[in-house]
Structure 1
Amino acid sequence: MLRHEFQPGKLVTGLFLAATAVVYAGDAGGLWEAPWFAAVPLVVGGLCLAGVTAALTRGIRRRAGARAGAAGGQR
């Protein structure tokens, strides 16, 4: 299997979409009542948090890359 870079923003998105699916699966199964608009704050909130997470990850990786590049140039 090919290795790929870990992307926490996609993980956050997946978790919130899975949580939305669980809410509606519970509603369909009769375990609880979920209003039709419950998906909106879950999905929008998850996408916003995923965007913040992705931006933070990019900033941290960019800063770490700049440090590695600067340290590699000095001997």
Structure 2
Amino acid sequence: MNRHPFEPGKLIAGLVVLAAGLLYALDAAGEADLPPFAPLPPLVAGLCLAGLVSALTFGARMRRARRAERGRARGRARGRAAWEEREEREEREEAAG
């Protein structure tokens, strides 16, 4: 099985829908007496929270990816500078030698 990144927004959405389903199941079993619309406002609020968490997670991952790319670009620039310096040194040694 392939590994995948943790998605906290999906976890929250799943728990919220599970809780709403549990409330409806309790009502159907006669354990709770709820009006049919009672679980809807918490369901909508929970799904909005899940969307917000997903957006924040996405933003954090993009920021981390940009930082990593900048670090790789700096590393390539340092590597290129070192390579050019070595080439110049070898040319000087050949000219002197």
**Where does residue 24 of structure 1 map in the other structure?**
24
* Structural mapping, 1:1-75, within 5 Å: 1-75=1-75
Provide runs of 4+ in structure 1 moved above 3 Å.
Answer: none
Give the paired residue count. 75
Identical counterparts, % of pairs:
47
User: 2-side partners of 1:59 and 1:38: how far apart?
Assistant: 33
User: 2-side partners of 1:3 and 1:16: how far apart?
Assistant: 25
Instruction: Give TM-score scaled by structure 1 length.
Output: 0.87
SS at match of 1:5: coil
User: 1-side partners of 2:43 and 2:5: how far apart?
Assistant: 24
Greater relative CO (CA pairs within 8 A, separation 6+): 1
| Greater Rg over alpha carbons, structure | 2
Question: What is the root-mean-square deviation in Å for CA atoms of aligned residues?
Answer: 1.3
User: 2-side partners of 1:33 and 1:44: how far apart?
Assistant: 21
